Structure 1
């Protein structure tokens, strides 16, 4: 009787500008998904049947990940031992070169674990660059890694006041992008929404003075389609004086995806999936499963 394949949780990161998003696409497209490359790398490890990565968190084209997560089952030919987590991560990274995709870690998990449904929280960071009068002033090393909103300084205090209104459990229909994938409920819970100064990379000064990097950090169990980008866009509109904190409250109450002004969606390039978290008890392999492995 063939034994069940080992299941692994892998954390991975990628530079989203190069891909159509994280999810698998048809291979004949000009840009394909990160998942395509992950599965191609796994196929080169000679599994006994095709391997599929089950992605925790969907990201769109241009969105980056510091740490996304996925699980996979790795069937080994008869007589071949299962990979350790370190061996699997090393082997996948060898076959992912030169793509800007990297496996950060891999570990054995129970056969019941699911990277998407077992997640207890997801954290996103949106990077803003202030002090650029024109997009040509964005440092070359930051061009695909932040958004420089036009119009001068932002009213951070007003943005923070508006952010407080979004915390907690709400119907976020007004912050859901129309035409996105069907989701059963628009109700979501924001556990954290912070606006804070953030680090830059190499360039700190623009031709007209100091550049300021700010981060919008958002944490929740799950999000609606493009919810984070629409919330950040609305907060920036508050910082620019085009919306007020009261308008954010009204948007929540209207529960209508068409209610958000067209200009109030942040571009993909500043968004990073920063963390996906799980409970330790969901990662622990039961004794009976451990016995079957030995």
Structure 2
């Protein structure tokens, strides 16, 4: 048996999230509407001895995109030798292209059996994209209304467009920075319907390493770019941490937007953060939409991806890529196994 780390990206609009949803009672074991289901179905074409089952590093909800997400899979080849990683990448991308899936494999890496895509992750970085209507247009009701204002089609389901005339980016950035560090984020944790495990008390302490609010740019083509930039200021919100709770990022961004628009005060945000409870959630806060959220990077320690000794291969040049999936500079001290961390 050999283990492979798969680096992938996708547009989440047409997927019901990344995690496969199956109905065993109905005898349904495949799910063509999730990222996991599509990849597992494509992996069957490799004809491994075992049935491929992905292990996810980071769950993304319906509509959330990924510039870089990771999974791992164990595959046993009939001859016992490892698969050529380039063959896996090409086979999967060929299948996705044929089926018109908004999904792309970036690379495949042969990794030791001690590696785990979720448990070995050092950090995850999310991007949330905002487009704020400029103040000279925000007081025009026609420009402000979400169903009449100009929104470039290229940014449809890719960016959160805001038209409130009082939106203040300085307030947004100020309250966002207070979320850095270790906090109990129970107020910002959603509970998945039908998941009894999440109904129970769970560990909700998380550390956010960095929150950056900086000017972004539109993804529109040249034809629409001038008009788009005339009306909107684009902002990128980058959030990096080791793990996050269910819908934590979207709920945090929703609170920051509410503060920036004056619907709640800085003190309200402070209360939600320092009095961790579902009862602390302000009713004037709306959860930020999924379509403007991107998982940008999942990082690993190169040590966790490396074999202790050379592994035989049957590819033409006898080499396997063992590069880290977008590793950070420097190498942490060696450890024999990956530490267990929450989502």
Query: Could you tell me the TM-score, scaled by structure 2's length?
Result: 0.78
Deviation of the 1:196 alpha carbon: 1.0
Residue of structure 2 in register with 1:237 after alignment = 258
1:194 to 206, 212, 227: 212
For residue 114 of structure 1, what is the aligned residue in structure 2? 116
Query: Are the aligned partners of 1:159 and 1:235 in contact in 2 as well (CA < 8 Å)?
Result: yes
**Do the aligned partners of 1:55 and 1:116 also contact (CA within 8 Å) in 2?**
yes
Deviations 1:133-171 (A, max 9, x none): 233421111111011124135211111111121100000
In the TM superposition, what are the counterparts of 1:61-210 in structure 2 within 5 Å? 61-78=62-79, 81-97=81-97, 98-131=100-133, 133-136=144-147, 137-152=150-165, 154-179=167-192, 182=198, 184-202=202-220, 203-206=224-227, 209-210=230-231
Q: Which of 234, 238, 242 is the aligned partner of 1:221?
A: 242
Structure 1 position 261, deviation (Å):
2.5
1:210, distance to aligned residue in structure 2 (A): 2.6
1:184 Cα deviation from its structure 2 partner = 3.3
Cα 1:247/1:7, change in 2 over 3 Å: same
Q: Distance in 2 between matches of 1:31 and 1:143?
A: 24
- Work out whether 1:275 is the aligned partner of 2:297: yes
Query: Which position in structure 1 is the counterpart of 2:341?
Result: none
Whether contact under 8 Å (2:151, 2:228) holds in the other structure is no
Q: Secondary structure at the match of 1:24?
A: coil
* SS of aligned partner of 2:46: coil
Shift of 1:259: 2.1
Q: How much has 1:78 moved relative to structure 2? A: 2.2
Could you say what the CA RMSD is over the residues aligned between the two structures, in angstroms?
2.3
User: For residues 141 and 99 of structure 1, do their structure 2 counterparts lie closer, same or farther at Cα, with a shift above 3 Å needed?
Assistant: same
Question: How many corresponding residue pairs?
Answer: 287
- Measured after TM superposition, the shift of residue 73 of structure 1 is 1.0
Q: In 1, distance between residues paired with 2:105 and 2:41?
A: 14
Q: In structure 2, what is the Cα distance between the partners aligned to 1:271 and 1:293?
A: 39
Counterpart position of 1:247: 268
Give the superposition deviation at 1:91.
1.3
CA distance in 2, matches of 1:152, 1:86: 51
Corresponding residue SS for 2:307: coil
The structure-2 alpha-carbon separation of the partners of 1:207 and 1:33, relative to structure 1 and needing over 3 Å to count, comes to closer
The Cα offsets for residues 214-265 of structure 1, whole Å up to 9 and x where unpaired, read as 1111110000110000000011111101122222211112211232234331
Q: Is the 8 A contact 1:159 1:245 kept in 2?
A: no
2:280 corresponds in structure 1 to 259
